[in-house]
């Protein structure tokens, strides 16, 4: 029987805990960056490229794993 908790992490060469931590921390970062983006929407002169730079960095990290 396949273990639904470890099947996907194994497919990306991670343990359940490694995958959990990466996904959890990434989720927290996305929430934080979302708040920054909302602040930028209200005050467009703040955080001009902060969120887009962070997303580009995250994309590179995910695609090179």
Is pLDDT above 90 for 2? Answer: no
Helix (H) or strand (E) holding 43: none
Model confidence band, residue 1 (pLDDT cutoffs 50, 70, 90): low
Residue 31 falls within a domain, yes or no?
Answer: yes
Range of the domain at 37: 7-63
Segment 13-57, tens digit of pLDDT: 999 999 999 999 999 999 999 999 999 999 999 999 999 999 999
User: N- to C-terminal Cα distance for the chain?
Assistant: 27
Residue 34 falls within a domain, yes or no?
Answer: yes
Look up residue 36 and give its two tokens: 């920054």
Give the model's pLDDT for residue 65. 79
Residue 36 has a CB neighbour count (10 Å cut-off) of 15
Tally the domains of the chain: 1
Residue 57 falls within a domain, yes or no?
Answer: yes
Residue 2 falls within a domain, yes or no?
Answer: no
Residue 1 falls within a domain, yes or no?
Answer: no
Give the model's pLDDT for residue 62. 92
Look up residue 42 and give its two tokens: 């209200």
Residue 43 falls within a domain, yes or no?
Answer: yes
């Amino acid at each position: 029987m396949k273990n639904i908790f470890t099947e996907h992490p194994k497919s990306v060469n991670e343990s359940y805990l490694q995958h959990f931590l990466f996904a959890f921390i990434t989720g927290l970062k996305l929430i934080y960056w979302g708040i920054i983006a909302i602040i930028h929407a209200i005050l467009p002169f703040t955080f001009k490229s902060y969120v887009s730079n962070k997303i580009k960095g995250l994309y590179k990290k995910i695609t090179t794993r």
